[in-house]
Chain A
């Protein structure tokens, strides 16, 4: 194809998205659109998969059967969300194995929030309330994104995610209405998860390199700073109901702006964690790669069995 033809196709493509038409896997798309979607969608899938680790660690220690079945269901949902997203990404022409390879070698990133440790049971509450809360804010606009398979996966994910946040908040509520020690535990979890949750919504608009293009493709509908503000404004009243204190001395209602002012985020910490120097980066990858390698004989055995059955069937037909 000549350069002019490609330019022509690109213009038609952008116009389709501007008209709110969806793009489906076999449609022509600019290479950059394909690559950006592979990057963002696979990282989203990886985040779901790695996101199982901090919580999976607490399933056996859940304080009651009610909490245990809920946590188990939540972690299973995350596996499911990862699978919806992996298969949606595969429609763009990358294989599942390539994606795993990128995750396991560190070439692909996942949400840096999962590189923090889950130290107490209250962390299960704080993760559901704050981390899933921030994830929902990020994900809801994606239900309308331009790439059909991604939008469809996100609709399913968002439907299921609201249970995650409610179960987390209920854990916090229970702890806050419990003994002083339990309430202290809840406060401690909030103290540790608050700032990483704010960082989860991404670098400030000034630093965000992908925003403009992503807005055009409807991979983003609001800027990171707007999403963060939305998260803070809806979460502060929820903390008040719990009787907990947000660990930010600069947090103050701004009558004029109609939203909360908040303190400086430690972006050095954010970039350190992204670059692999967070408290749990090595541990998470070790667990993930270990699970993949230990499962290899199972995958091979299943395949060998399927082939043998197939051959047997073929013989019977003859």
Chain B
């Protein structure tokens, strides 16, 4: 049994220029370079990407869904952040 296991990496792929990198999944690799090479073989066997980012999973800080209330509710009662909040006459065009 190995003493140390390969760490987990999160893989982000840009499908084509003009689009953002999107989370595709994860994989194990000894280092960043190997993570990139493995990501190419695991996630882009059919031209799914033009660019890959790899981040070791332990470096990602995630919000806790149990705290979604405090975290996201403050935005819910702020309808004035949306254009439909403002009353304008129908004759106004291009606005």
Task: Find out whether the CB atom of A306 lies under 8 angstroms from the CB atom of B31.
Answer: yes
Task: Find out whether the CB atom of A303 lies under 8 angstroms from the CB atom of B25.
Answer: no
Task: Find out whether the CB atom of A303 lies under 8 angstroms from the CB atom of B6.
Answer: yes
A83-B42, A305-B30 as given contacts; A90 in contact with B2, CB under 8 Å: no
Whole-angstrom distance from the CB of B40 to the nearest CB of chain A? 11
CA distance in complex: A26, B63 (Å): 9
Task: Find out whether the CB atom of A302 lies under 8 angstroms from the CB atom of B62.
Answer: no
CA distance in complex: A153, B26 (Å): 11
Q: Could you list 13 A-B pairs, sorted by A, with CB under 8 Å?
A: A27-B65, A28-B65, A28-B66, A76-B41, A80-B42, A80-B45, A84-B25, A160-B46, A296-B2, A300-B4, A302-B30, A302-B31, A303-B2
A-B contact count (CB 8 A): 57
Whole-angstrom distance from the CB of B30 to the nearest CB of chain A? 4
Task: Find out whether the CB atom of B26 lies under 8 angstroms from the CB atom of A90.
Answer: yes
Whole-angstrom distance from the CB of B54 to the nearest CB of chain A? 13
Chain A residues with CB under 8 A of B42 = 80, 83-84
B8 at the interface (CB under 8 A from A): yes
- Chain A, residues 91-129, CB within 8 Å of chain B (1/0): the string is 000011100000000000000000000000000000000
Chain A residues with CB under 8 A of B2 = 296, 299-300, 303
B55 at the interface (CB under 8 A from A): no
Whole-angstrom distance from the CB of A266 to the nearest CB of chain B? 38
Task: Find out whether the CB atom of A83 lies under 8 angstroms from the CB atom of B27.
Answer: yes
Chain B residues with CB under 8 A of A153 = 25
B34 at the interface (CB under 8 A from A): yes
A205 at the interface (CB under 8 A from B): no
Among A84, A88, A153, A310, residue most surrounded by chain B Cβ atoms (within 10 Å):
A84
Q: Tell me if A's interface is mostly helix, strand, loop or mixed.
A: helix
Q: How many B residues face the partner with a CB closer than 8 A?
A: 22
Chain A residues with CB under 8 A of B64 = 26
Assuming A27-B65, A303-B6, what are 13 further A-B pairs, CB within 8 angstroms? A73-B45, A77-B45, A83-B42, A87-B8, A90-B8, A152-B25, A160-B46, A296-B2, A299-B6, A302-B34, A303-B2, A306-B30, A309-B31
Chain A residues with CB under 8 A of B65 = 24, 26-28
CA distance in complex: A203, B61 (Å): 43
CA distance in complex: A77, B1 (Å): 27
In the A-B complex, the 8 residue pairs with the smallest Cβ-Cβ separation, listed nearest first, are A306-B31, A302-B30, A306-B30, A87-B26, A303-B30, A27-B65, A26-B65, A83-B42
Task: Find out whether the CB atom of A88 lies under 8 angstroms from the CB atom of B25.
Answer: yes
Chain A residues with CB under 8 A of B6 = 299, 302-303
Chain B residues with CB under 8 A of A97 = 5
Task: Find out whether the CB atom of B26 lies under 8 angstroms from the CB atom of A80.
Answer: no
CA distance in complex: A310, B66 (Å): 36
Q: Which residue of B lies closest to A85 (CB)?
A: B25
Chain B residues with CB under 8 A of A27 = 65
CA distance in complex: A87, B11 (Å): 11
- Chain B, residues 46-75, CB within 8 Å of chain A (1/0): the string is 100000000000000010111000000000
Whole-angstrom distance from the CB of A159 to the nearest CB of chain B? 8
- A244-301 contacts to B (CB < 8 Å): 296, 299-300
Q: Which residue of B lies closest to A153 (CB)?
A: B25
CA distance in complex: A90, B34 (Å): 20
Task: Find out whether the CB atom of B62 lies under 8 angstroms from the CB atom of A26.
Answer: yes
B14 at the interface (CB under 8 A from A): no
CA distance in complex: A296, B1 (Å): 8
- A5-38 contacts to B (CB < 8 Å): 24, 26-28
